[in-house]
Amino acid sequence: MSIEHDAGARTGQDQPTGGPALPQRRHLVTEIPGPRSRELLARKRSAVPPGIGTTLPVFVTRAGGGVLVDADGNSLIDFGSGIAVTTVGNAAPRVVERVRRQAGEFTHTCFMVTPYESYVEVCERLNALTPGDHEKRSFLVNSGAEAVENAVKVARHATGRQAVVTFDHGYHGRTLLTMTLTAKNMPYKHRFGPFAPEVYRMPMAYPFRWPTGPENCAEEAAAQVVDAITKQIGAENVAAIVIEPIQGEGGFIEPPRGFLPALVSFARDNGIVFIADEVQTGFARTGRMFACEDEGIVPDIICTAKGIAGGLPLAAVTGRAELLDAVHVGGLGGTYGGNPLACEAALAVFDTIEAEDLTGRARRIGEIMLPRLRTLAERHPMVGDVRGRGAMVAIELVRPGTKDPDPAVTGEIARRCHADGLVVLTAGTYGNVLRFLPPLAMPEQLLEEGLSILEKAISSV
């Protein structure tokens, strides 16, 4: 019941990064999940609390390029990248090589105790790669939430102010402060209060759902935000505005052009630190190194994680030198932040993105996906909106002829895709968004096949 490992299925062009000789094809040998995965799921249920959910209970044994292989020998097409993490591909060759080598040298010292070069190099590369050519500093932590939390600490310290502005549909993590910044109650906040103080939520420019239509959305939303900040908080009390340039968990909500620049200029005029949470959008995902680049946004602080290190836990806070340098010695850090294995992986990711033009790959993936999804939307009125940039693409499911969210149909489409060997994720405040985040190592024929599976699921639902 195992799949044959025909290295011939792999060509240099089809699989620019990805695991060694893993056949790039969908191949189902059992129902999904198969007997071995079901057995493991039963063990999971008695060892792990249900709070740790499971999108698709196939237990993975190998992954690379555009596929995940499970414990029953099924090979599935991956449209999730472990939530935008394995952008360069799973077990990407450069990542594997550098991590292997580092694991044999040393695995930890704590950078705050006795430092090492790779941490500094990751920070130098981030300072150079992120938008803006001003003097920057970076420091490394373990997760996206930790990066956002630290960015807020820095902004508060540097400004001496307390209020933090965040947005409807936003997602920033699961720690006390970042779950407070997050918009959605269920599942992220429900019964986890009380929340952190001095967090203020503003309307988001959500073109598909803007009451007066998408053409008015950027201008009206920005005006509402400025008005609410001025009246309710007082601009002079605001330490930071925290926003995802394209919202991730909230449903891949792409604010129309003009909204982000309006927020940036309001922040500049009022001494407010503009924090871009590029945890999901960063590192070539949207067809640029960072999504902010599309509108020439230069954030004061940018938070990165997910795609930064090919799956090793790493996150970063990068920002203006004068802000980050304001914090006293010892005020920032953590035991594992910038672990040497994760730093090696990040350096391999930066090299891979450059060597394989992965920003170009992401744009190409968008050029393949968006037209096919738009055709699908014309045929099926339940597909209310198609949106995204590069390899960060989503469809929003509604009751035909309305904009009423249809989370039930969304879940059913996802289940049918899963049963057919396509890993897709749902998202959205209303649970009615299917989001697609293929690894940029995805061979084009698998991308097309995945879209055909999706089409079949939508036609049959």
Ligand X SMILES: *Cc1c(COP(=O)(O)O)cnc(C)c1O
- Six token digits for residue 218: 């950027």
- Six token digits for residue 104: 């044999």
**Cα separation, 177 vs 409, whole angstroms:** 33
Nearer to ligand X, 39 or 168 (CB): 168
Nearer to ligand X, 244 or 396 (CB): 244
* Residue from the set 75, 90, 143, 426 that interacts with ligand X by CB under 6 A: 143
Q: How far is the CB of 250 from ligand X (least distance, A)?
A: 9
Assess 149 for contact with ligand X (CB under 6 A): no
SS3 content of the chain, % helix, strand, coil (to 5): 40, 15, 45
Assess 277 for contact with ligand X (CB under 6 A): yes
For residues 77 to 116, the per-residue mask of contacts with ligand X, x marking binding by CB under 6 A and - elsewhere, is ----------------------------------------
Q: Which stretch binds ligand X (CB under 6 A): 107-115, 222-230, 276-284, 332-340?
A: 276-284
Nearer to ligand X, 71 or 314 (CB): 314
**Cα separation, 438 vs 428, whole angstroms:** 18
Q: What does the DSSP assignment read for 103-138?
A: HHH-S---TTTS--HHHHHHHHHHHHHSS--S-EEE
**Angle, in degrees to the nearest 10, between helices 407-419 and 444-460:** 130
Assess 172 for contact with ligand X (CB under 6 A): yes
* Residue from the set 66, 89, 248, 388 that interacts with ligand X by CB under 6 A: 248
Measured in whole angstroms, the distance separating CA 303 from the mean position of its chain's CA atoms is: 11
* Residue from the set 225, 279, 382, 425 that interacts with ligand X by CB under 6 A: 279
Q: How far is the CB of 319 from ligand X (least distance, A)?
A: 16
Assess 301 for contact with ligand X (CB under 6 A): no
- Six token digits for residue 191: 């019964």
Q: How far is the CB of 234 from ligand X (least distance, A)?
A: 27
- Helical (H) or strand (E) element with 446: helix 444-460
**Cα separation, 363 vs 74, whole angstroms:** 29
- Show contacts with ligand X in window 188-247 (CB under 6 A): 244
- Six token digits for residue 349: 């990711």
Assess 183 for contact with ligand X (CB under 6 A): no
Nearer to ligand X, 256 or 313 (CB): 313
Q: How far is the CB of 322 from ligand X (least distance, A)?
A: 25
Measured in whole angstroms, the distance separating CA 51 from the mean position of its chain's CA atoms is: 21
Please answer whether residues 313 and 337 qualify as being in contact, where contact means their C-beta atoms are separated by less than 8 angstroms: no
**Cα separation, 192 vs 125, whole angstroms:** 38
**Cα separation, 264 vs 276, whole angstroms:** 10
Nearer to ligand X, 22 or 253 (CB): 253
- Residues of this chain that interact with ligand X (CB under 6 A) are 143-145, 148, 171-173, 244, 248-249, 277, 279-280, 305-306
